[in-house]
Structure 1
Amino acid sequence: MRAGRAYYVYIASNQSRTLYVGVTNSIRRRIAQHKAGEVEGFTRRYHIGTLVHFEVFGDVHAAILREKQIKRWRREKKIALILRENPEWRDLSDGWY
């Protein structure tokens, strides 16, 4: 791992609050791709583009483990995680672009 490298586990959503959990090494780039509909499959089909939660890791393996952990959770537990830090479901990427 390179010194100072950051990895992000994130939860993105849409107006209907459909959830998507992902991992990336560039949260700004990845969310911009979601917003532009550049990510094939689920996120494009459901217009996932609102960043509602993210966590930062210095180790890619830790980030991947956390992503897998959250993906295994029931929807209710994911929502509880979002509500702890972001009860209004604000787009945490507002002002980035």
Structure 2
Amino acid sequence: MYTGEVIGSVVATVKEEHLEGIPLLVVQVIENGKRTKKVIAADATRQAGHGDFVYLIGSKEAARMFRKKLTPADAAIVGFIDSYREEL
């Protein structure tokens, strides 16, 4: 599990069929309370939006968040972070 901030969204004219209807968001990864240069596209299981701090899961757990069949997902947003104690 890791954390990040939503900084944008992905627009795809064609998606893999198992990802249809699932929004993709751009997330900047946060490690040890600091923003990193890592930026990933994550499937949004919650209604996250620009500026939201979120936590994500990766690997096959992310692929199983949406359907009974595996989807081609490497990261999925699973919750919101209300506040950080470390300075960003």
TM-score when scaled to structure 2?
Answer: 0.29
More helix by share: 1
Q: Relative to total residues, which structure has the larger strand share, 1 or 2?
A: 2
So what's the TM-score if we normalise by structure 1? 0.28
